[in-house]
Amino acid sequence: MGLGMFDIMNALGKFNEVKNKVAEVRERLAKKTLSAESGAGMVKATVNGAHQIVGLEIDPSLFNANEAGVLTDLVVAAVNKAMAEIDAKTKGEVAKQLQGSLPNIPGLDIGSMLG
């Protein structure tokens, strides 16, 4: 039981610490928003850290039956861009928060802890 068991318990303690830090970061970022645009600013989507669309601005010139396909494409592009940017920001914040908390383990993917 000696040293090996201590190492396992220490590792489990570190894992719980990391899990708690990740939860704190996610909770904090869920309250933050990020916006992205498409179509040279004609469509702007705002998302939060919980991956919810909290705002959508569309240039009125796109409300035209002939532009329905363009409008759809621009909304999708703006939302996808905003989601990608909030993901990158979340991963960066988690990595910053966990710096020094984890041993250097090859193949450890902190991003997988984000769900």
Query: Per the confidence metrics, is the pTM higher than 0.75?
Result: no
* Residue 53 is assigned to a structural domain of this protein: yes
Report the C-alpha gap between 83 and 57 in whole angstroms. Answer: 16
What is the pLDDT, as a whole number, of residue 99? 74
* Residue 11 is assigned to a structural domain of this protein: no
- Please state the domain count of the chain: 1
* Residue 23 is assigned to a structural domain of this protein: no
* Residue 14 is assigned to a structural domain of this protein: no
* Residue 1 is assigned to a structural domain of this protein: no
Confidence of residue 22 (pLDDT cuts 50, 70, 90): confident
Assigned token pair, 87: 């993901």
DSSP-based three-state secondary structure for 92? helix
Per-residue model confidence as pLDDT tens digits over 69-101: 989 999 999 999 999 999 888 888 877 877 776
* Residue 12 is assigned to a structural domain of this protein: no
Per-residue model confidence as pLDDT tens digits over 12-21: 777 788 888 8
Domain that holds residue 70: 32-100
Per-residue model confidence as pLDDT tens digits over 28-67: 888 889 999 999 999 999 999 888 999 999 999 888 888 8
Assigned token pair, 99: 């710096």
* Residue 108 is assigned to a structural domain of this protein: no
Backbone dihedral angles phi then psi of residue 61, each to the nearest 5 degrees: -65, -15
Q: How far is CA 54 from CA 10, 32, 38, 48, in A?
A: 41, 11, 17, 7
| Percentage above 90 pLDDT, the chain | 35
CATH of the domain at 55: 3.30.1310.10
* Residue 80 is assigned to a structural domain of this protein: yes
